[in-house]
Structure formats: C-alpha cells, structure tokens
Amino acid sequence: MTTLVPRFVGDLFEWFETEPLVRTGHMIRVEDRLTDNEYLVRAELPGCDPQKDIQVGVEHGMLTIKCMREEQKQEHDRTEFRYGLLQRIIRLPGNAVDQKIAAKYVNGVLEVKVPLAESKPQGRQISIAAPAK
C-alpha cells in the first residue's frame, strides 16, 4: 500500500500537468525504473505496428508516447480492448540527455531508454538586489 500512494499521487499530478488539459484518448500503461545512469520506461502497446502506429517524442523535458490503434472489424458482443488514440506524457528527470534517447518495440512492449548525465543539475542561490537610495 505504501508504494501505491506515491505512484497514485504522481499519476494524479501528471494528469494535471499534461497538455491539452482536455484529455483525449486512453492512457497507456507504463512501468519505469530509475538508476544512476539511465531512466527506463516500458509501455504496454500490444497489437501496434511500431513503424506506422507509434510515435515517441521529447520536448521541454517531457517524453510523449502516442499510438493510434484501429479497431478490427469483428463480430463480438463485448470488448475490453482499447482502440483509437492511446497516449502517455511522462516528465523526465532533470539530468536526462534528450539527444541520446533510444526506443525499441518487442513483443507488444515499447521500451524507451533515457540516458542520464553524471551529475544532476544543481540549483543556485539568487542574490537579492538592495533598493536604490
């Protein structure tokens, strides 16, 4: 339970931070792992063609994964499959190296590897100017 609460809160904040604020499509289920030198995101996208259906992009520290899955015309009384636009926007760590992000798709899982710079960006102290006399 203690691991679910931070994950839920993080997902909730992510929901509010994504653009556009009007949500369209279904959220892609992901799992991630952060190490000292890499951030790994795995996205569940079965039945998608990585060359035609999946788009991966990065802008302003946000990783975007989109997939358009068309419904196959079949006779069924009920379906729990998700069709249409699937998407997920994930905030990357501050020390992510955007230019070296790599992705691969194997057995219905998209794996995105984000290399991290050795040192995390450091904040800095900002001096406050005294009012002019």
Per-run averaged pLDDT (10 residues), the chain, 133 residues: 52 50 67 95 92 95 90 68 83 94 96 89 82 84
Tokens of 40: 């790994």
**Residue 19 has what pLDDT?**
44
3-class SS letters over the chain: CCCHHHHHHHHHHHHHHCCCCCCCCEECCEEEEECCCEEEEEEECCCCCCCCCEEEEEECCEEEEEEEECCCCCCCCCCCCCCEEEEEEEECCCCECHHHCEEEEECCEEEEEEEECCCCCCCCCCCCCCCCC
Domains, the chain, in order of start with CATH, read: 23-72+80-115 (2.60.40.790)
**Residue 35 has what pLDDT?**
94
pTM higher than 0.95 for the full model?
A: no
**Residue 22 has what pLDDT?**
39
